Chains A and B, each alone.
Chain A
Amino acid sequence: MRSDTARKLWIPALGILLLVSALLSLGMGSAEVGLGDAFRVIGEQLSGGGDAGQSDPHTTIVLNIRLPRTLLAILVGALLAMSGAVMQAFFRNVMAGPYLVGVSSGAALGAVLAMLFGWGFHLGAFSTVPLSAFVFALAVVALVYALNRRGGKLQTEGLLLSGIAIAAAISSVVALLMLMSDRSLHQVLFWLLGSLASARWDHVEMLLPYAVVGGAVTFWLARDLDLLLWGDVTGASLGVHIDRTRTALLAASSLMTAGAVAFSGVIGFVGLMVPHMARFLVGVPHRRLLPAAALSGGLLLLWADIFARTVWAPTELPLGAITAIVGAPFLVYLCTRRRRSTL
């Protein structure tokens, strides 16, 4: 067992790694704009010399395409990872995650409905797409909770099965919607596979409140998450207001998933894999686990996206396909280690 201090050091280490990766990411893409150009552009901006009216394509590519995309990748990765960490503790199941529980599908249904039926207007600064995604994500998570609660206690053995059933039902509804609406099929399909190809500054701005609120609530309840791992009875005896805490945690994790899905589509397995990696590095306590998961989630998705946009440039691969290629074997690995599956 590593010492506690060594485990604590992982958090700043991940932070530095993420920062370096983010800087490297500004120099990578299909356009011939390398790291040197990226730093020159950033330098000009920082020294105030960057003339906003100038239309140097390098400046546009670094500041308006790569930078928002990098930030969005980090935010989405962090949100999915934290949401996954919350669900794994909440359902006391190592295989829980927004994708496998069906919450991502719910959010996707909400987002697709909003996109196809033109609810896509903006309420002030808030786009209706993430709001609709949130409502549906919350509905799914409530349904999963109700399906897996017997005699006042949460049974988690059937969790993945109910998730599969819900995801199957929802994906058929989405397919029907797409067929009936007969509009930009490939566009919705690409989005459903997950992509950050259309990342823009306003997406980052719109997603930020979801990250702040969701992250703050979960971090606030980090100790309760630790206690929930011991089960309801123990948790209650140790002073957790089970129902109120549960509601807050469910809402927070749905909010984080919905935000991520609304701006990037369905990117699977990040919420499943990352909490395990983080737990390996910093241990079980959520006070450390949550920030470590957020940082590693950002790191993982950032590199997955760099891969997606460079490996077959100038076209792009769907991001969700890449995370699934890595994530599906990880799920198999978790299944084969079922006996040691308690957290």
Chain B
Amino acid sequence: MRAKLLIGRHARLPARLLLLAILLGSGPAGASSQPPRRFEDPLCHVVEWRTPPERIVSLSPSLTEILFAIGCDTTQVVGATRFCNFPPEARDVPRVGGIVDPSLEAVLLRKPDLVLVTRGNPLEFIESLVRLGIPVYGVETRGRLARILATIAEVGAVTGRETHARRLIERLQATLQDVRQRTATLAPERRPRVFFGELEGAHWTAGPGSYVHGLIEAAGGENIGSVAPSAWSPLSLETIIERDPEVYWGTFGEEGEAAARERVLSTLRNAAAWSQTSLGRRPRLFLAHADVLQRPGPRVIELLPELARYLHPELWSRDGQ
């Protein structure tokens, strides 16, 4: 296994790749006409198959969304976490536990030929799966907007659904490009200052390196959290106030959008610090479902036109769309 991994790491040059293909193809396993396809994840897990996986278990709601978005259905996705509720069909997939507490037995009972994991799933759990000989592939889902497209491409490749994935990526890229083209020429003073995150508590916010930051910038806004030291971190209230936010971008969960809006407005009105900001004087709120924002997947990018239209309705009214 280790020797294979070393070859895999150095096989970036086409010539070596060819050599590797010949070596693998000439082995006893190479009886069939085609060499097996081989994938290696950032954790050095190797997945090999000749026919695409047919029983996939996903240990992350964002990966489940991506699997369905590239054309898998409940016959291929045979296991998911109890948080996987989108698309609606995902609710019918047998549950194998949570994200941080998946059940080894439940996963095994699904007889998977591929388990997709990501950051947040316990490493020991992943290693147990590997030791039991179950093909595991880990995807880094967190990162910038481009990471979402890369994740879709990776999931598409390892599940043998590249064509579907490519089509989805092209569609999402077109969405990104359309919005970026409209907002590209906006002067800095026409970019509203957006605060995303908590109005209370430690004021956790999305910093540079997060896809939320990418969405705000692409939508023609200025992210107040761009001064934060990491992708998700507490930001001092006085820094937020000093930068004078104009738009608040928040999330709502089970409470629903109306209740969340009411809660946000009451905080903006009542907290002395907020009521003095541009946002407090003239609240502009953009609220999105927490599930969408917590799961780096197609829906995050599909949210971009909505956000951009909210920030810059004039850019859309001109061409009558």
Contact = CB atoms under 8 A, between A and B. Distances in A.
Q: Which residue of B233, B239, B277, B280 has the most chain A CB atoms within 10 A of its CB atom?
A: B239
B190 interface: no
Given A65-B273, A309-B236, A312-B229, A197 B201 contact: yes
Contacts of B204: 186-187, 190
B202 A190 contact: yes
Interface string A310-341: 00111110000000000000000000000000
Interface stretch (A26-34, A71-79, A88-96, A290-298): A26-34
A7 interface: no
Interface string B88-105: 000000000000000000
A195 B202 contact: yes
Contacts of A183: 253
Interface residues of B, number: 29
B272 A187 contact: no
A184 B273 CA distance: 23
Contacts of B271: 200
Contacts of B242: 30-33, 57, 61
Interface in B244-259: 244, 253
A313 B239 contact: yes
Contact of B234 (A200, A201, A316): A316
A31 B277 contact: no
Interface string B246-290: 000000010000000000000000011100111011000000000
Contact of A30 (B230, B239, B277, B281): B239
Nearest to B271: A200
B225 to A, nearest CB: 9
Nearest to B244: A57
A340 to B, nearest CB: 41
B201 A31 contact: no
B208 to A, nearest CB: 13
B198 interface: yes
A234 interface: no
A55 B277 contact: yes
A299 to B, nearest CB: 22
Most buried by A among B200, B201, B229: B201
Interface in A11-38: 29-33
Interface residues of A, number: 32
Contacts of B198: 187
A194 B35 CA distance: 58
A187 to B, nearest CB: 5
A59 interface: yes
Contacts, number: 94
Contacts of A45: none
Contacts of A309: 236
B236 A316 contact: yes
Contacts of B236: 29-31, 197, 309, 313-316
Contacts of A30: 236, 238-239, 242
A66 B238 CA distance: 8
B239 A200 contact: no
A65 B204 CA distance: 17
A200 B241 CA distance: 14
Contacts of B5: none
Contacts of B235: 314-316
Contact of B237 (A59, A63, A197, A312): A197
A266 B33 CA distance: 65
B20 interface: no
Contacts of A269: none
A172 to B, nearest CB: 15
13 contacts: A31-B236, A33-B242, A57-B276, A60-B273, A60-B276, A61-B238, A184-B201, A186-B204, A197-B202, A197-B236, A313-B236, A314-B228, A315-B234
Interface of B: 198, 200-204, 227-230, 233-239, 241-242, 244, 253, 271-273, 276-278, 280-281
Interface of A: 29-33, 55-57, 59-61, 63-66, 183-184, 186-187, 190-191, 195, 197-198, 200-201, 309, 312-316
